[in-house]
Amino acid sequence: MTIEFLVASAIGVLTAAGIYLILRFRTFPVILGTSFLSYAVNIYLFSTGRLIVGAPPVLQGYGDYTYTDPLPQALVLTAIVIGFGMTAVVLMIALAAYLSGGHDKIDMQDDDASEDRA
């Protein structure tokens, strides 16, 4: 089994799990689903820099060197940090909504919907 197949499978599984969790009616699975989708995008961006095992991460000189591109690695590192911060903010907003509302459902209740129409 090649490493490309494993990485592509990981991206597919994370994407499928993320989409499944985003379609739930509770807040925490939706947040977890968006995290899974961001992880899948990060792995995809990381794999665009070439998947070479045992090669140096940067070009060592002129010649026939195979190397991985460091730019996608830097972009993924930045995306991980930003994604972690945004997940923390969204979790705090969801926790505040749960504490004020008493539930974490995403859909509106019938009495809330009737108040919005008036």
Name residues whose C-beta falls within 8 Å of residue 54's C-beta, 6 or more positions apart in sequence.
Answer: none
23-36 pLDDT, tens digit each? 988 888 999 999 99
pLDDT of residue 67: 67
In a domain, 44, yes or no: yes
One-character DSSP codes across 84-112: HHHHHHHHHHHHHHHHHHS--BSSPPHHH
The identity of residue 24, as a single letter, is: R
| pLDDT at 40 exceeding the cut of 90 | yes
Q: Is residue 116 part of a domain?
A: no
Q: What CATH number did the domain enclosing 83 receive? A: 1.10.287
Asked whether residue 51 is domain-assigned, the answer is yes
Instruction: Give a yes or no: residue 34 inside a domain.
Output: yes
* 23 part of a folded domain: yes
**Is residue 111 pLDDT above 80, yes or no?**
no
The domain total for the chain is 1
- Domain assignment present for 61: no
Look at residue 112 and tell me if it is in a domain: no
Q: What's the rounded mean pLDDT across residues 34-53?
A: 86
Examine residue 115 and state whether it is found in any structural domain, yes or no.
Answer: no
Look at residue 59 in the predicted model and tell me its pLDDT: 61
Q: Which residues contact 73 (CB under 8 A, 6 or more apart)?
A: 46, 49, 57
Whole-model pTM: value is: 0.73
What is the domain range of residue 18?
3-56+66-107
Whether residue 112 has pLDDT greater than 90: no
